[in-house]
Amino acid sequence: MKRLAVLVSGGGSNLQALLDAIEGGGLPGAAIVLVLADRDCPALGRARASGIPTALVDRVKYVRNSDIFSDELLRRIDGASPVDLVVLAGFLSILKGAILGRFEDRIINVHPSLIPAFSGDGCWGIHVHERALASGVKVTGATVHLVDGVTDGGRILLQEAVPVLEGDSPASLQARVLEVEHRLVVQAARLFTESEE
Ligand code: GRF
């Protein structure tokens, strides 16, 4: 059984996609053993509804995106040890320091654009789609990538294109991209949970 820790900051729809996949047999051999948030958020409620242990390490109690903050996240993940894969599902803080080494090539993040487009500092949540619309692109999409020390910088694992339609608002574009994110995050998790080791 591969054990997943899922890090969240928001609505938790990507977490829900993972929960539904496990429930529906779409992610065999996987179990979510911890949902860890950096702020109080609806995603924690989704975890509790599924009986999954949760933890909250409030980012405002730490120097923003500091090593000490990441070390506390790592301590909580170690509390659910062993953890085979860390999934950043709508997680908005930046990981630094020891956690990156401990989970090298075992932390994945879903980002709502075709990285490197509309990625990096300041490109998160709805702002990604505002920038895509402002730039006039006809195609955007979603990416799942490995997490290293660079924001949205790790090796790309999966991508899927999403058309930008006439009259799209940031919200309508986000909703269309989110549907793809939900499929890709499950597909990416499967890359790890179905591997033999
Ligand atoms: C999504 O746009 C996701 O790409 C971004 O955070 C937003 C909310 O995700 N990382 P979720 O509903 O909390 O999973």
64: containing domain: 2-111+144-159+185-193
> pTM score, two decimals?
0.96
Residue 88 lies in a domain: yes
The whole-angstrom separation of Cα 92 and Cα 112 is: 12
| Best probe residue, ligand 1, of 39, 129, 180, 181 (max atoms within 8 Å of C-beta) | 181
CA-based angle 141:107:140, to the nearest 5? 5
Rounded to 5, what percent of the chain is helix, strand, coil? 35, 20, 40
Residue 42: inside a domain? yes
- What average pLDDT does range 50-79 have in this prediction? 94
Ligand 1 environment, Cβ below 6 A: 8, 10-15, 43, 89-90, 110, 112, 125, 174, 178, 181
Atom in ligand 1 nearest the alpha carbon of residue 43: 13
Q: Give the domain CATH number at 91.
A: 3.40.50.170
CA 124 – ligand 1 centroid, Å: 9
170 lies in some domain:
no
Query: 16-53, pLDDT tens digit by residue?
Result: 999 999 999 999 999 999 999 999 999 999 999 999 99
Is residue 32, in this structure, part of any structural domain at all?
A: yes
Structural domains counted in the chain: 1
Q: Residue 196: pLDDT band by 50, 70, 90 thresholds?
A: low
Stated length of the chain = 197
User: What is the tens place of the pLDDT at every residue in 85-113?
Assistant: 999 999 999 999 999 999 999 999 999 99
Return d(Cα 146, Cα 144) in angstroms, integer: 7
What is the number of the ligand 1 atom nearest to the C-alpha of 142?
4
Is residue 124 in some structural domain?
no
pLDDT score for 35: 98
In a domain, 118, yes or no: no
Q: Is 96 contained in some domain?
A: yes
Burial class of residue 166, CB neighbours in 10 A (0-12, 13-18, 19+): exposed
- Whether 31 maps to a domain, the answer reads yes
